[in-house]
Structure 1
Amino acid sequence: MDIDILVRRFLAIKTSHTPRIDPSTGCIYYISDAASNQPNLWRSCNGFSDLWLPWERRVGSLEISPDGLVAFSTDRDGDEKWSIYIAGEEQGVKLVSGEDDSINMLGPWSPDGRLLAFTSNRRNGVDFDFYVFDLARGETRMVAEGEGIVAASSWLDDRRLLAVKRNTNLDSDIVVVNVDNGEVRILTRHSGEELNIAPRPIGRGKAMIISNMDSEFAGIALLDIETGERRLVLKEEWDVEALEISGNTVLYSINVDGESRIYTAKIDWGGRLLNPHPIEGLPRGTLLNMDLNEGLSLAALSLSTPKQGVEIYLVKLGDEVSRLTRSPKAWLKEEVFVEPQHFSYKSFDGLEIRALFYPPPEPLSNPPPAVVYLHGGPESQERVRFNVFPQSLAAMGIATIAPNYRGSLGYGRRFVHLDDVEKRINAVHDVYHAVRAAVEAGLVDGSRLCVMGGSYGGYLTLMSLALYPDLWACGVEIVGIVNLVTFIRNTSPYRRKYRIAEYGDPEVHGEVMLKLSPISYVENIKAPLMVIHGAKDPRVPVSEAEQLVNALSSLGVRVEYLRLEDEGHGVVKLENRLKVYRNALKFIYEHLSKRI
């Protein structure tokens, strides 16, 4: 098998996402890497799509003004220090904020198109303050100080802004900001932990939000802007994950065991959802983002799907679904892509864990060797989506097991806290029991197993290698946490308090955190290991990888280390992705193609 050609083809698959409808023309702007090696701005108009603004760095987000001006964010080499620009056919390109050490998070345009909202940590590197860019004056001004991570979300009117304030990764509030006098008011004061996100005004002093108030799962709540009173108007047995409103049309998505189910409905002035019904004709997958314009009777959706990749779909409300983009796929036919299967198993304590299984169409053996693929977060979820690694492995005859171990999102409030601080070790046992269940079901060959993951998934990869050393033929760890104490102390200051809420405070839980760190068990690791890390990673500093590689090398364990000098928390540039995927897949194939 020529893995080099396989990798080149899979990495040549392009993506299109983040659609935004231009209300002045009905054209669709979006982000795609179809014409370059990094995401750039595209526009589709009157049936024709093309690169709109060639940009030398990756574009992360965009917003369209009522008059068709484009605001977008960009960073350098994956450092996540986002800068904000605006661009237009007549106006050219103008820097709004950034190109320094600050992080600037793009927000929406005001209804009259005069002000662009965003938040920035330029004041102290930790707290995100509220800013507006005044288009008429060409000026940027701070309107109010914020605390922690705060993101502008939507406008109530031309002077009042709704935003989301993160207290932890699982607890948040809706705030309203008066951009004229700087008044900031919290609307969703609550006790205990509660998620309140995605505020969308509906008029008459009301807004709809996604909230898990009084519920195990997030639903849709009606919020009174003046009093802060709120009540659930939609409650499901799964999480509502996205919400958009235009006029009296509502578009929302429910995460059903890792798959997105998207619905439309109408609302009355009492906030009731009328005649909700699913959108038919969309492929099975995960919603990434969406936009809605009732005046144009149009919704634009970005979906990541196992069979079609990451593409944009248009929904004419009350009518048909069409596919807007067909991103290049290097002659790989969509029908060869593998659809993951759902399966569940019992962990050591009887807890039910859900997982995805990618069966190779032509396995190396029967049953096939397998990679256990561990998602990051940990407040994340392995979704039904297009994932290059499992797809590449399937083409090589290797299966993938992707468990949603305890601590994953999508399965309720209680489940996501089952790995907190001292309970983190139980997630490692969940990984082992995923393998055990798959082997007992005859899905995989238990003598040829590799474990891999990135970020928190990298942490679990290392812990699995250390606590179950005889289980694995190899491991691949990407931007992973090696020492929970040094990770917390060295991560970016603006993230530290949010990570402490999940992993613990070194000053309080230091002993427990060290006991739960892979570095404490490094002498147990037997399997050959590949370590991949970006030197500019602001989340998990490269020093985590360095201490691991040094420790393993001193013990004589085979370790291959790929340090990427121009990458951050992840791999963005095509030449680096080729290097990483090629080396990782060759490494895995070398150790799984024969029985140990």
Structure 2
Amino acid sequence: MTDTADTADAGYGVARFLAVDHVDSPTLTPDGRLLFLADTSGTPQVWTTDEPAAWPDRLTPHEERVSALAASPTDEAFVYAMDTGSDERDQLYHYDLATGVERALTADPDSTHSWGVWGPDGDRVAYAANRADDARFDVYVQSVEAPDDPAGEPERVFEGPGGFLSVAAFGPEGDRLVLTKAHSSYDEDLTLLDLATGETTRLSDDAEATYSHVHFDGAGGLVFVTNRGSDTAYVGRLSLDSGDVTPLAGHDEAPGNPGTDAWDVDALAFDPDTGRLAYTVNEGGYSSLHAGTLASDADGEFAFDSTPAPAVDGVVSDLTFGPDADRLVFTHTSPTTPYGVRAVAFGDDAATDWTPVGRNGLPDAAFHDPETVHYETFDGRGIPAYWTLPPGASAEDPVPVIVDIHGGPEHQRRPWFYPTKQFFLNRGYAVLEPNVRGSSGYGTAYSHLDDVEQRMDSVADVAAGVEWLADQPAVDDDRVVAYGRSYGGFMVLAAITEYPDLWAAAVDFVGIADFTTFLENTGEWRRSHREAEYGSLADDYDFLKAISPLTHIEEVRSPLFVQHGANDPRVPVGEAEQVVDAVREQGVPVEKLIFEDEGHHTTSRENLIAEFELIADFLDEHV
């Protein structure tokens, strides 16, 4: 590293940054007690507090991560999901807050139980699971009351058509469920299931659309976030009688390409008893929060009347109302603000931090905000990106750059708090985070620009970002690092094989090396969903093989670090093994880190610290 980088590194080890707590997934009990997930103990566990900024109590005592949390609508109790070794085969557990007793609702460790919803009376839950067939998710309803049979076998109420299926909402009378079936990330079926008869009614039409944050409105309809008939997502209402969808809020008929002001609604909370509704709009990655009341007139026409809501300076998610909808809670973060939970009284314009998170003694100067930039790519499009320079970077003392490429690809890099990003900034690296074509958040049309045969256009967008870096005076363009996770790992491997001269080093986390072996070995229930994005083994095998980085591995010149988890159900660990072996055969320096107790994500803080200490040493050696 240069003297500038040494000066920027104030001696803050990665453990200081990774030990900053991450708090999210708020949910409120009927008595108004706040429950949330926090990784204070090293993995996400359930914690609770009943006062703002009060010292919270830890409720779950486990070493394995808790991945989902939902409070009962009627009792002081909650359900949570937890897997083993980050294998994503979640089991469900019930926790009684009055007694502190927790017990397993499911005990099938070979199956994935995807949390769904509570029944309206708090006596049942509904969820999807692949218990009968690994390639198919079915729908189950299960009592949460202590069963006579300790196994507590659930009732299968619907056999899925194959692939992934979700339970989106429970009817207010407890007699219906709303299900979503994802054909791809941007094409879902919405179905109403009658629990008494087993009959289903399709609510979606044949057009491609998504449906999320689904709520029964108590007046013969559903309120949800959808992009049906629109390039961007909005708050809509579907009449169960007619099937018609009416936009209520956040609707914009303009296309949502980067550079426009047409944005997606991306979160929603709704209380049918009061009609109170809150939603967020994703404005170039940053959230704006909106609140109001949904009401109908004498003709049955519904309208949204807005009310004050607090301004937010980062990203808001996990919107949920408390009892009587008098309070809205949500997760908040920004590049310099760790994840925490805030609350606001309905109609107020100031939010309160309920779970303020410290920084382990790190000063404000150790945290850095990005600027939003747009750089031109090969076809004249402007690619949005976040650009952050470390302190002291200048034309006289230029710095190396990490190009951090997000996964998905139907995902978006947003201005969240990234402890590892702040760590590298403090070590003297600049960071460029592009939202290349195929990213979400900029409308459906933009998200489709990398589909199947257009896959490598997104890699060209990354190369264009490196060209933009060459024009930045404070950048040393001989020391640029390709860096990405999951699909971003594929992008890293594709970038160093397609554009090998651009990179000084590369870091691949759980990346796809060969699309054909990835699709052959990924979880069976995921295959058709991923083929809709990448192309199918049956129809596109030769094309998939041709664009796979492993096919062109002889082009690699830059040292490579590869990290993976042995329990990864999404991108099997064989992808890492084969790319490491192939790069070594080329005589290029390569380091491999496989965690036997991790999956697609590194979830243990101990493992994360070991991982990023090794990566920092690797980059110090090669960049």
Tell me which interval the TM-score lies in, with the shorter structure as reference length: over 0.9
Q: Choose from 71, 77, 96 the match for 1:69.
A: 77
How far apart in 2 are the matches of 1:529 and 1:545?
11
Partners of 1:514 and 1:544 lie apart in 2 by 14
Q: Deviations over 1:338-393 (max 9, x none)?
A: 11110001101111211111121233864321110000001111111111232111
**Larger RCO, structure (CA 8 Å, separation 6 or more):** 2
Map of 1:121 onto structure 2:
130
1:260 aligned residue (267, 271, 287): 287
Task: State which of 124, 137, 157 in structure 2 corresponds to 1:143.
Answer: 157
> Who is 1:298 aligned against?
327
Contact 1:143–1:182 (CA under 8 A) maintained in structure 2: yes
Q: For residues 505 and 338 of structure 1, what CA distance do their matches in structure 2 show?
A: 42
Deviations 1:435-487 (A, max 9, x none): 21132143522121111101111111111111221211111111000001110
Q: Does 1:96 align with 2:105?
A: yes
- The DSSP-based 3-state class of the residue aligned with 2:17 is helix
Deviation at 1:584, TM superposition (A): 0.9
Residue 285 of structure 1: how far off its partner (Å): 1.9
Q: Which structure 1 segments of 5+ residues have no match?
A: none
Matched, 1:31 2:45: no
Q: Which residue of 2 aligns with 1:321?
A: 351
RMSD: 1.8
Moved more, 328-337 or 308-317: 328-337
Alpha carbons 2:553, 2:582 under 8 Å: kept = yes
Which residue in 2 is equivalent to 1:336?
366
Report the residue type matching 1:192 in the other structure. A
Give aligned-pair identity as a percent: 32
Is 1:582 the counterpart of 2:596 in the alignment?
Answer: no
- Residue 110 of structure 2 aligns with an amino acid whose one-letter code is D
Q: 1:149 touches 1:165 (CA, 8 Å); kept in 2?
A: yes
Contact 1:144 1:183 in 2 (8 A): no
Q: CA deviation at 1:118?
A: 1.1
- The residue identity in structure 2 corresponding to 1:77 is G
Q: 1:37 to 1:465 in 2, by over 3 A?
A: same
CA distance, structure 2, for counterparts of residue 185 and residue 131 of structure 1? 18
Pair 357,192 (structure 1): closer, same or farther in 2 beyond 3 Å: same
Post-superposition CA distance 1:303-338 (Å, at most 9, x none): 232111111101111223100112343212345311
- 1:56 pairs with one of 63, 80, 92: 63
Does the Cα contact within 8 Å between 1:307 and 1:335 map onto a contact in 2? Answer: no
Which residue of structure 2 aligns with residue 287 of structure 1? 316
The answer to whether residue 268 in structure 2 is matched with residue 243 in structure 1 is yes
Q: Secondary structure at the match of 2:606?
A: helix
- Return the offset for 1:62: 0.9
For the 8 Å contact 1:261–1:278, the answer to whether it is kept is: no
Question: Which residues of structure 2 form unaligned runs of 5+?
Answer: 1-5, 253-261
Residue number among 206, 210, 225 corresponding to 1:210 in the alignment: 225
Aligned to 2:17: 10
Q: CA deviation at 1:137?
A: 6.7
- TM-score with structure 1 setting the length: 0.95
Work out whether 1:363 is the aligned partner of 2:398.
no
Larger mean CA deviation between 521-530 and 82-91 belongs to 82-91
**Distance of aligned partners of 1:68 and 1:334 in 2 relative to their CA distance in 1, 3 Å threshold:** farther
2:524 aligns with: 493
Match of 1:471 among 488, 491, 502: 502
Amino acid at match of 2:542: E
Q: What amino acid maps onto 1:12 in structure 2?
A: A
| Counterpart position of 1:109 | 118
Paired AA for residue 14 in structure 1: D
Q: TM-score, normalised by structure 2?
A: 0.91
> Is the CA contact 1:222–1:271 (under 8 Å) kept in the aligned structure 2?
no
Contact 2:267 2:317 in 1 (8 A): no
Q: CA deviation at 1:272?
A: 3.7
1:555 aligned residue: 586
TM-aligned CA deviation for residue 242 of structure 1: 1.0
Q: Which residue of 1 aligns with 2:3?
A: none
Where does residue 437 of structure 1 map in the other structure? 468
The corresponding residue for 1:43 is 48
1: CA distance between counterparts of 2:237 and 2:311?
29
* The one of 199, 206, 223 aligned to 1:191: 206
**Which letter does structure 1 place at the counterpart of 2:291?**
T
Q: C-alpha separation between the residues in 2 aligned to 1:271 and 1:519? A: 57
For residue 257 of structure 1, report the CA deviation from its aligned partner: 0.8
Conserved 8 A contact 1:143-1:180: no
User: C-alpha deviations, 1:529-553, integer Å up to 9, x for none?
Assistant: 1111111111011111111111111
1:86 and 2:94 matched: yes
Moved more, 483-492 or 209-218: 209-218
Residues 98, 251 of structure 1: alpha-carbon distance in 2 compared, 3 angstrom cutoff? farther
Residue pair 2:112, 2:130 contacting (<8 A) in 1 also: yes
Per the alignment, residue 259 of structure 2 pairs with none
Q: 1:196: how far off? A: 2.1
Aligned-partner residue type, residue 191 of structure 1: D
Amino acid at match of 2:327: L
